[in-house]
Amino acid sequence: MPRRDSGRLDEMDVLFPQTSVTDVPPPEWARLYRTMVLSRKIEERLIRLYHQAKIFGGVYTGVGQEAIGAAATSASQQEDLFAPLIRNMTIHIGRGETTLNIFRQWLARASGPTRGRDGNVHYGNLKNGVYTMISHLGAMLPVIVGGVMAKRRRGFDTIGFGTIGDGGTSTGDFHEAVNFAAVYDVPVIFLIENNHFAYSTPREFQYKCARLADKAVGYGIEGYGVDGNDAVEMLLFFRKLAADLRARPRAVLVECDTLRMRGHGEHDDSSYVPKELLARYAARDPIKVARERLTNEGMLAAAQLDAIEAACAAEVDAAYREALREPPPDPATLAQGVYADG
Amino acid sequence: MPRRDSGRLDEMDVLFPQTSVTDVPPPEWARLYRTMVLSRKIEERLIRLYHQAKIFGGVYTGVGQEAIGAAATSASQQEDLFAPLIRNMTIHIGRGETTLNIFRQWLARASGPTRGRDGNVHYGNLKNGVYTMISHLGAMLPVIVGGVMAKRRRGFDTIGFGTIGDGGTSTGDFHEAVNFAAVYDVPVIFLIENNHFAYSTPREFQYKCARLADKAVGYGIEGYGVDGNDAVEMLLFFRKLAADLRARPRAVLVECDTLRMRGHGEHDDSSYVPKELLARYAARDPIKVARERLTNEGMLAAAQLDAIEAACAAEVDAAYREALREPPPDPATLAQGVYADG
Amino acid sequence: MVEMTYLDAIRDALRAALRDHPEVVLYGEDIGRFGGAFKVTLGFQEEFGADRCFDTPISESALFGSAIGMATQGLRPVVELQFADFGTNALHHLLNNAGTHHYRTGVPVPMTVRAPCGGGFGGGPFHSEELEAIFCHMPGIKVVYPAFPSDARNLLYAAILDPNPVVFLENKYLYRHVKELVPRAIEPVRIGAARIVRPGQEAVVLTYGAMVHEAMRAATRLAGQGYEVMVMDLRSLKPYDEDAIVAAAAATNRVLIVHEGWRTCGFGAELAALVAERAFHLLDAPVMRVTAPDVPVPYAPELESAYRPNAEKIEKALVELIEY
Amino acid sequence: MVEMTYLDAIRDALRAALRDHPEVVLYGEDIGRFGGAFKVTLGFQEEFGADRCFDTPISESALFGSAIGMATQGLRPVVELQFADFGTNALHHLLNNAGTHHYRTGVPVPMTVRAPCGGGFGGGPFHSEELEAIFCHMPGIKVVYPAFPSDARNLLYAAILDPNPVVFLENKYLYRHVKELVPRAIEPVRIGAARIVRPGQEAVVLTYGAMVHEAMRAATRLAGQGYEVMVMDLRSLKPYDEDAIVAAAAATNRVLIVHEGWRTCGFGAELAALVAERAFHLLDAPVMRVTAPDVPVPYAPELESAYRPNAEKIEKALVELIEY
Ligand SMILES: Cc1ncc(C[n+]2csc(CCOP(=O)(O)OP(=O)(O)O)c2C)c(N)n1
Ligand SMILES: Cc1ncc(C[n+]2csc(CCOP(=O)(O)OP(=O)(O)O)c2C)c(N)n1
Ligand SMILES: [Mg+2]
Ligand SMILES: [Mg+2]
């Protein structure tokens, strides 16, 4: 089935004035870059741990998709809310989760964000405005809609970012959440990370529209298509979009074109993904793209980026080792906290 | 919230050659007219029975929306499938259900289509290709998609008609069913009966898109808007559309603009519906519109239509009386038939 | 004291919660200007504003999901299902998200789901369901099911203030069929306490919801025959009052369980299991259940009355139990 | 005879059904070319064509709903849930439509839902659920849950040919953990028959799924201590084998119920209720239950092993029961 390439919609330029990288100060670009690099390095470690059988259960990563969460969190403000899914390490990092906490979670330590009660990708931190996902795809989208409604009622200028995969758009929850937010003009950015596959299922068995951003029309909201591997461009875009949503609250759909660069999880060799496709996106690895743009466009020097990378590597090593030394949950606590009052 | 009026989409004229009423022979027009008139008269009787407290539970009718099901069934073929909802008396009649069976159902007789096990609008007859709805809105849509897939696999040239209200489009099931049919090119016509209200809820609290037919874009299928009170026009349209779907199987959305002319059910005085709105649609009552067109355009004489009306009235009286005389279900049969084998 | 129907009591609790607690919001299908399918919220939108009582699209998943979102951000949402039956469209939110959230994250989810349930009025299979057994199976969820206006009011108010997700089951048949004199003020109650609504020593009927009234009727008739039967209204199903049940079994040595929902894996099975485990040595007769059969709720009045437990069926079972 | 794992057996039954019955179709997420998350259907798309084994969008409601549509139009659809947990997105289809259709219309719905369930492998709260109690509460639905490859094969084949909607629960932990020599040909079986998998007279363990193997282990250990314990594998949960259960209670006078799912309103409650009602006079001790606690399935191995019933916990309960 032929499919038009996703690209930025014309309306985007109409709606928002052009911005350039110089509108954003270098420290912010450094933070963006760090978010991506740190996430990548954490996930590379997780992958290694999986293959060393040091992780209970599966490992799922966002390798190749780091730009999206990095850009979105960079464009967000303190009181904003996020509902990340399994490919969103950069959302956790970008919203301030510590590397140590992330290894605590993956190693199921009592000290981790879910205290070993939930595993792997299922963590968050509402103090950072980050929800803890459940596995049921689509289900976090109405949650973030409600969260944003609540915070706004309480007087905060909150907007929300809810991520969903190309596959997740097929769920009833996606539909109900987007429609609900549209009807009540709840400022949530529904971030579709279109990485071409849902587990093994290629997107032509998931949907038939030309671009997922086209779904916006049917909800009476705006839909944008962005290059999901270009963090620099997305940061500029999300900054404008977020400001616009604060000024005129409403739901919007943003489709980010990207590719899942590893298996669905590390147990999956993803042999069903065409080699040429992988090569095409490998050439546009988001960290590489950001590095090139930031240096070429004079925002950060290569040495600065190298220093960030080295710091991230050291942070991962230290955090991993520290988490390893911490104790697992005490089985005697099994039944504690099922209810808030008991 | 301002809302563009629904109207026929441009593509429709592009896709299908113009047809005129003369392409359809008078007996078919007579059948179309009878379907509407008989349905109306049955429902008028049901309304009377409700207010005489002769019906257990509620009464829900399709008064004012008769054109849609009448046109759709008239355009259908023997092996087609229908999934009607609560406003679709004309689908039952149009697919051959007897007036007697309908009163048996509403009066909960043992001889009725659900043998008193289900009530009021919840009946069908798979021998006529008509599913028996459950109340959960949206839920019949994936059912008809599966039904059509099955019949086609078995070699029939089946297409399906699934109805849904403006309110029902907000359900996850609507989304999942339309998307599923779109991906697999299952020839189902999703007939949205946009009657402005979902129970008491006006459509601006149900969706924000300009027209519900706009949702088609997001599923990668065609969407059409039709005048849901003009049975003549719709019959011509559905004939063309059905033929086209048989030639090139695919899912389509059709939004029919109409108005619910009574309460949600007879218990509801629908005082929340603006009087002017009611007046506007009353002036375009579908039976009146059909009568005018069919006589003005020379298809049927007024006397012929009068004769149909008289016959329908007599049929309703006779059927109602006969059903009344029949026995209710025997309580001893309560547990029979929960399982197919026991 | 004021006289209230069951429905008045629910309305009164909601209004009090809206008045006393600015973080309470109500939403659901048609509950705004229209006041809901059963008119429970009539006038609230005018009184409290459209941001505290509003209509939603027909989207049960969005209802539950957004309530979880709100409850974790400082509000106390109370969502109305038009009928409990439609909750089955979105149980994943209750089971997987609302019910596990505090356990997984330490953040409570103070939301209430109002679920009108039960039959007896020609509602047929999709407007009469009793789904308490399904809700009670979910860790992290509380379930209450009042039988009287006073309990309806107190328990609903308590549910709204509870830090946990609570499913508040309200019986449609009782809406306008029971009246009670209740004090002007809402009383704080503990979710989890049963109540003996009629004393007796020949046997105890463990029940809840509409069946409490049927059991009372049966007990009254049996009193005429010289049998004094205790009727216990559980009121809370999760947690349920284990100790009160065991004490009642000890006091009567004969236990009949009655509910309007289906038999297999119904809530009565849980009660029977509790009695069989904790009160085994106290029993003089088998634990019996009077429930609906495992049949979809039928529509025809002849079938529905054969389907639905009532005073006659309860009386018959009690006689059998007492004479065992 | 051939040796098969539990997973092989499921695959074999599906392949046989596809071969023998042209009206059988399989679909679900990733089951086509990929062969499914657990590789049960690997190779089927090549062997039988993409119209008999195909992938779907992530749409559990569309899965269930379309299966109802197909089953009422001459096919026998077998849908795979990737995990049973995701079935909670669309229970309305099973409860309200599949389960009531024959009762309401007289038209049967021969569909099968394959639901991989259970924990023990680090799946956490959303990939380990045991939902049999919820499925068993639904009128009109049958539920089977094999513990051995032979039963898995025979029961799945029987489920597919059954004229009713059948939920086929398959335990993920057993997929590759149990092997059995089975005859080449699939045997026709009756859904609803339990099986004594180990004789004994001191007590009976009523169980199913993965817990059958834990109960066997416990029984073996107790045999070493001189206690002979019967283990009954229910195999079918709805309908379940009432008479066999009562007979086992009569033969042993002591009943322990074991399952991997949650306690409150779990399937074990139903079994306990049955025993308390029909086998009351046969018992020498209370009916006991060993189940998971009412806690979301935890992820950390330390917590999950505290959560999940196993041979040790069963043994301990048996000793308590026998020495009561
Ligand atoms: C409701 C539901 N059904 C099935 C699954 C099993 N599942 C987990 S991930 C996945 C594929 C997701 O694909 P997509 O949404 O595109 O996200 P991606 O993994 O590509 O980021 C599936 C089917 C699920 N988590 N939730
Ligand atoms: C899933 C679900 N939620 C709620 C209801 C209760 N309900 C019955 S009809 C109705 C309004 C339907 O409106 P619409 O779809 O526009 O159809 P109309 O009645 O206007 O024909 C509602 C909310 C239902 N039947 N199903
Ligand atoms: Mg994807
Ligand atoms: Mg409507």
Model pLDDT for residues B72-130, shown as the tens digit of each residue = 999 999 999 999 999 999 999 999 999 999 999 999 999 999 999 999 999 999 999 99
pLDDT tens figures, A164-192: 999 999 999 999 999 999 999 999 999 99
- Are D160 and D109 contacting, i.e. CB atoms less than 8 angstroms apart? no
At B85, list the tokens.
């909802």
D226: left (phi over 0), alpha (psi -120 to 50) or beta: left
Predicted local distance difference test score (pLDDT) of residue B8: 39
Indicate whether A131 pLDDT > 70: yes
User: With DSSP H G I counted as helix, E B as strand and the rest as coil, what are the percentages for chain C, rounded to 5?
Assistant: 40, 20, 40
pLDDT tier at B342 (50, 70, 90 boundaries)?
low
Q: Residue C230: what are its φ and ψ, rounded to 5°? A: -80, 140
The domains located in chain D, with CATH, are 2-182 (3.40.50.970), 195-322 (3.40.50.920)
Q: Which amino acid is at B33?
A: Y
Using pLDDT thresholds of 50, 70 and 90, give the confidence band for residue A331.
very high
Its domain, for residue A88, covers 20-326
Q: How many CB atoms sit inside 10 A of residue D136's CB?
A: 25
User: Above 90 in pLDDT, residue B6?
Assistant: no
Count of the separate structural domains present in chain B: 1
User: A190 touching B, CB under 8 A?
Assistant: no
Asked if the structure places residue B332 within a domain, the reply is no
D59: nearest CA partner in chain A: A171
Question: Is residue B131 less than 8 Å (CB to CB) from chain D?
Answer: yes
Strands D195-198 and D229-233: antiparallel
Reported as a single tens digit per residue, the pLDDT across B161-218 is 999 999 999 999 999 999 999 999 999 999 999 999 999 999 999 999 999 999 999 9
Residue C113 bridge partners (DSSP) = C79, C167
CA distance D261 to chain C (A): 9
Nearest CA to ligand 1 atom 12: A198
Tokens of C2: 């004021």
Confirm whether A236 is domain-assigned. yes
Binding-site residues, ligand 2, Cβ < 6 A: B 87, 135-137, 165-168, 171, 193, 195, 197-199, 260, 264; C 29, 58, 60, 82, 86, 89
Question: With 50 as the cut, is the pLDDT of residue A8 above it?
Answer: no
- D42 alpha carbon – ligand 1 mean position (Å): 19
Q: Which residues of D touch B82 (CB under 8 A)?
A: none
Residue range D216-244: mean pLDDT, rounded: 98
List pLDDT tens digits, range A216-263. 999 999 999 999 999 999 999 999 999 999 999 999 999 999 999 999
d(CA C234, CA C192): 8
In the residue annotation, D281 being an active-site residue is answered as no
Q: Tell how far the Cα of A108 is from the centroid of ligand 4, in angstroms.
A: 50
- Report pLDDT for C188: 82
Q: Which residues on A lie below 8 Å from B204 (Cβ)?
A: 183
Query: Tokens representing C101?
Result: 């959230």
Catalytic sites of C, residue numbers: 127
In a domain, A249, yes or no: yes
3-state DSSP assignment of residue A265: coil
Spatial separation of the C-alpha atoms in residues C84 and C81, rounded to whole Å: 6
Please tell me the distance from the alpha carbon of residue A74 to that of residue A234, in angstroms, as a whole number.
10
**Distance between CA atoms of C237 and C239, rounded to whole angstroms?**
6
For the cut 60, the answer to whether the pLDDT of residue B266 exceeds it is yes
CA distances in angstroms from B105 to B132, B196, C125, C184, C302, listed in the order given? 12, 28, 14, 47, 14
Please name the helix (run of DSSP H) or strand (run of DSSP E) that holds residue A313, with its range, or none. helix A302-325
Angle at C293 between CA C290 and CA C299, to 5 degrees: 120
Show Cβ contacts of residue A144 under 8 Å, excluding neighbours closer than 6 positions. Answer: A81, A82, A83, A131, A160, A161, A162, A177, A188, C69
Ligand lying closest to the C-alpha of residue B263:
2
Whether C191 and C142 have beta carbons less than 8 Å apart is answered as yes
Query: Residue B15: pLDDT above 90?
Result: no
Q: What is the pLDDT of residues B35-63, one digit of tens each?
A: 999 999 999 999 999 999 999 999 999 99
3-state secondary structure C220-260: HHHHHCCCCEEEEECCEEECCCHHHHHHHHHHHCCEEEEEE
Interface A-B, measured as beta-carbon pairs within 8 A, has a size of 84
pLDDT value for A342? 64
Cα distance between residue D270 and residue D133, in whole Å = 9
For residue B106, what are the contacts with CB-CB under 8 A and spacing of at least 6? B46, B49, B55, B59, B119, B120, B323
Residue A214 within a domain: yes
Q: What is the pLDDT of residues B297-339, one digit of tens each?
A: 999 999 999 999 999 999 999 999 999 999 999 999 999 999 9
| Average pLDDT of the residues of chain D | 97
Does some domain include residue B336?
Answer: no
Token match 């079918």: residue?
A: D236
CATH of the domain at A188: 3.40.50.970
By CA distance, what is A113's nearest residue in C?
Answer: C105
**Is ligand 1 within 6 A of the CB of residue A238?**
no
Peptide bond into C296 cis (omega under 30): no
pLDDT of residue B221: 97
For the segment D38-57, the average pLDDT, to the nearest whole number, is 98
Chain A residues touching residue C164 (CB < 8 angstroms)? 339-341
Q: What share of chain A is helix, strand, coil (3-state, %, to 5)?
A: 50, 10, 40
How far is Cα A293 from Cα A233, in angstroms, rounded to an integer? 10
Q: Ligand 2: which atom is nearest the Cα of residue B171?
A: 1
Q: Please determine, for residue A5, whether its predicted confidence score (pLDDT) is greater than 60.
A: no
Complex ipTM over 0.95: yes
CB-based contact (8 Å) between A190 and chain C? Answer: no
Whether chain B has a CB inside 8 Å of the CB on A337: the answer is no
Instruction: Report which of residues A337 and A341 the model is more confident about.
Output: A337
Give the span between the Cα atoms of B97 and B339, in whole angstroms: 26
**Confidence at residue B30, expressed as pLDDT on a 0 to 100 scale:** 98
Q: How far apart, in whole angstroms, are the C-alpha atoms of residue C76 and residue C21?
A: 9
CA distance C216 to C219: 5
Q: Treating both helix axes as pointing N-terminal to C-terminal, what angle do B172-183 and D60-71 enclose, rounded to 10 degrees?
A: 70
| D280-304: pLDDT as tens digits | 999 999 999 999 999 999 999 999 9
Cβ A80 vs Cβ A246: under 8 Å: no
- A179, A183, A207 member nearest B183 (Cβ): A207
- The pair of three-digit structure tokens given for residue B12, joined into one six-digit string: 């429709």
Report the distance separating Cα A112 and Cα A102, nearest Å: 7
| CB-based contacts of A51-55 (< 8 A; 24+ apart in sequence) | A51/A266, A54/A107, A55/A106, A55/A107, A55/A120
pLDDT attached to residue A16: 55
Q: Is residue A341 part of a domain?
A: no
Selection from A138, D87, C82 nearest residue B179 by Cα: A138
Please, what is the end-to-end C-alpha distance for chain D in angstroms? 44
Confidence band for A10, pLDDT divided at 50, 70 and 90: very low
When pLDDT is averaged across residues A267-285 and rounded to a whole number, the result is 97
Residue D205 token pair: 């363990």
For ligand 4, a single-atom ion, the residues with CB < 5 A are B 165-167, 195, 198
Q: Given pLDDT bands bounded at 50, 70 and 90, which one contains residue A4?
A: very low
The per-residue pLDDT for B10 is 44
For A200, the closest chain D residue by CA position comes to: D30
The predicted structure's pLDDT at residue C309: 98
Judge whether C101 and C72 are in contact, CB under 8 Å: yes
pTM: 0.97
Q: Tell the burial category of D178 from Cβ atoms under 10 Å away from its Cβ (0-12, 13-18, 19+).
A: buried
**B340 vs D contacts (CB less than 8 Å):** 102, 108-110, 163-164
Nearest by Cα to B266 from B86, B125, B142: B86
| Cross-sheet strand order for the sheet of D203-207 | D195-198, D229-233, D203-207, D255-262, D288-292
Q: In what order do the strands lie in the sheet with C236-238?
A: C53-55, C24-28, C76-80, C112-117, C166-171, C142-144, C236-238
All residue ranges of chain C with pLDDT < 50 are: none
CA of A195 to the centre of ligand 3 (A): 5
Who contacts B285 (Cβ-Cβ below 8 Å, separation ≥6)? B64, B229, B261
Cα of first residue to Cα of last residue in chain B, in angstroms, is 55
- pLDDT of A7 reads 35
Interface test with B, best of D101, D104, D142 (most B CBs within 10 A): D104
Q: Give pLDDT tens digits for B216-254.
A: 999 999 999 999 999 999 999 999 999 999 999 999 999
How far apart are alpha carbons A326 and A107 in whole angstroms?
9
Q: Please report, to the nearest 10 degrees, the dihedral formed by the alpha carbons of residues B80, B85, B90, B96 taken in order.
A: 50
Residue C80: which residues within 8 A CB-CB, separation 6 or more?
C26, C27, C28, C29, C31, C36, C40, C41, C114, C116
Instruction: Order across the sheet with B188-194: list the strands.
Output: B81-83, B160-165, B188-194, B252-257, B222-227
> Does A206 sit within 8 Å of D57, measured CB to CB?
yes
Mutation target for D interface from A105, A192, A197, A205: give the one with most D CBs within 10 A: A205
Task: Tell me the shortest Cα–Cα distance from B186 to chain D, in angstroms.
Answer: 11
> For chain A, what is the mean pLDDT?
94
Q: Which pLDDT score is estimated for D187? A: 87
Q: Which pLDDT score is estimated for B19?
A: 77
Distance CA B4, CA B2 (A): 7
- Specify whether the CB–CB gap between A45 and A250 falls below 8 A: no
Separation CA D124–CA A24 (nearest Å): 41
Indicate whether A340 belongs to any domain.
Answer: no
What's the pLDDT score for residue A92?
98
Task: Look at C96 and A139 and tell me if their CB atoms are within 8 Å.
Answer: yes
pLDDT of the residue at B18: 67
Query: How high is the pLDDT of residue C319?
Result: 98
Cα separation, D245 vs D234, whole angstroms: 9
Q: Is the pLDDT at A1 greater than 90, yes or no?
A: no
Q: Which of C70, C97, C108 has the CB atom closest to A139's CB atom?
A: C97
- Residue A97 covered by a domain: yes
